[in-house]
Structure 1
Amino acid sequence: MAEETVKPKWDGKAAAKLTGATAEQVWPLLEDFCSFHKWLPSIDTCHQVEGVQGQPGLVRYCASTVPPSDSGNAATTLWCHEKLMAIDAAGRRLTYEVVDNNMGFKQYLSTIKVSPVEGDDKPSCEMEWSFVADPIEGWKFEDLLYYVESSLQAMAEKMVKAIQSTN
């Protein structure tokens, strides 16, 4: 009887400092679970599929269009359904998992939290995006980590700009 090899989970974390925005200003932007497309430049659409806004069990649909490649491939839509597993407004933290997708995720659980940064000259906070995932066929761990890090940086920049434009 052949023994099946169990691949270890991928466990990663990225952080971004948001200078010029407080945790109290950033949290409502994240708390709106179905507004991800406003903050993550690679997402074209994000909307509620089922459940109650702001409550665990809410499922959102996120999709991105990948333009045609130089080799003549047609444009493709990458999509996923993500389920809000937990939300803690006082702790400014939410956890979600990918429940269906066409991107190769088997299991993916992620937590995003916002924390105040004390002692800076300007109001500041930090966003942290952590994840645990099964390995993704055709990817390396570093690919997923790079995606999370670059996405978080882009989100942080967009959020700071949005907050500063309303002040």
Structure 2
Amino acid sequence: MAEQKKWEGTVSTTLENANADQIWPFWKDFYGVNKWFPGNTTCEGIHGNNGEPGCIRHCGDLPVPAIDGSASSWHRERLIAIDDIEKSFSYEILDSNFGVKSYVASVKIDPLAGGDSGRGCRIEWRFTVEPVEGWRLEDMVSNYEVWLKIMVKNMEAAVFDHSS
């Protein structure tokens, strides 16, 4: 039996009013994803130092169905690499109860072209994962698009809350 090809997905969004330097600290806070991620009410560091490669977070109460009969979904992720200059990081899912295996993702934040005013940035979120039983790649990408838009809307609002 031939091995099934991994799924790959990319979603992105543009912020017009917040720049990369303003948004990056929210993403860099690896243990703080629950502040921005819809439906993810729990995120805590369980190994290492927040924002350093090798640190591990446990996230729970996710907006995806658990396959083990649990009332809520959870996963553990490890930060693989982080680059403050490039405003990028990559991470992997180590374990979950919703059927995801061999998941690796990266996030990159770039200033908008011609951004002399320092306004605006583009955020790109890429992932690869083994096909997940009961899911379709198109639905996974669609979920990521919604999640990313909600996350950056919340982040952008926080930028303006801090600046007023």
TM-score, with normalisation over the residues of structure 1? Answer: 0.89
Contact preservation (8 Å) 1:115, 1:126: yes
- Rounded to whole Å, the distance in 2 between the matches of 1:122 and 1:81 is 35
1:152 to 145, 148, 153: 148
2:84 to 89, 92, 95: 89
- Rounded to whole Å, the distance in 1 between the matches of 2:90 and 2:118 is 29
Q: How does 1:12-91 map to 2 (within 5 A)?
A: 12-64=9-61, 76-91=71-86
Unpaired segments ≥5 residues, structure 1? 67-73
Aligned-pair CA distance for 1:64: 1.2
Contact preservation (8 Å) 2:20, 2:109: yes
Q: CA RMSD in A?
A: 1.9
Aligned-pair CA distance for 1:53: 1.7
Does 2:164 correspond to 1:162?
no
- Rounded to whole Å, the distance in 2 between the matches of 1:110 and 1:65 is 17
- Rounded to whole Å, the distance in 2 between the matches of 1:97 and 1:46 is 15
Unpaired segments ≥5 residues, structure 2? 64-68
Aligned-pair CA distance for 1:122: 7.7
Q: Moved runs in structure 1, 4+ residues, more than 4 A?
A: none
1:137 to 129, 133, 140: 133
Cα-to-partner distance string for 1:130-163 (whole Å, 9 max, x where unaligned):
0011000000011111111111111110011110
Contact preservation (8 Å) 2:49, 2:55: yes
**Matching residue of 1:126:** 122
Indicate the SS of the match to 1:46.
Answer: strand
Identity across the alignment (%): 34
Distance 1:85 1:65, change over 3 A: closer
- Rounded to whole Å, the distance in 2 between the matches of 1:36 and 1:58 is 14
